[in-house]
Amino acid sequence: MTIADLTPEQTEALRPLAALIETAIRETPIRLDADHPATALGGRLLADIAAYMGRTLGPDAAVLAEVQAERERQDTKWGEQNHPDGTGNKSQQDFADHKRKWCEAAFGSGYGTWADVLAEEVAEVEAEREPARLRAELVQVAAVAVAWIAAIDRRTA
For 7-146, list the strands marked E by DSSP: none
Contact between residue 129 and residue 142 where contact means Cβ atoms under 8 Å apart: no
Contacts made by residues 83-86, CB under 8 angstroms, sequence distance 24+? 85/129, 85/131, 85/134
pTM: 0.65
Q: How far apart are CA 36 and CA 38, in angstroms?
A: 6
111: which DSSP letter? -
**What is the tens place of the pLDDT at every residue in 92-148?**
999 999 999 999 999 999 999 999 999 999 999 999 999 999 999 999 999 999 999
Residue 32's pLDDT band, with cuts at 50, 70 and 90, is low
**What is the tens place of the pLDDT at every residue in 55-81?**
666 778 778 888 888 888 898 999 999
Q: Between 7 and 34, where is the model more confident? A: 7
Q: Between 132 and 17, where is the model more confident? A: 132
Domain edges within the chain: 3-58, 90-156
pLDDT given at position 1: 57
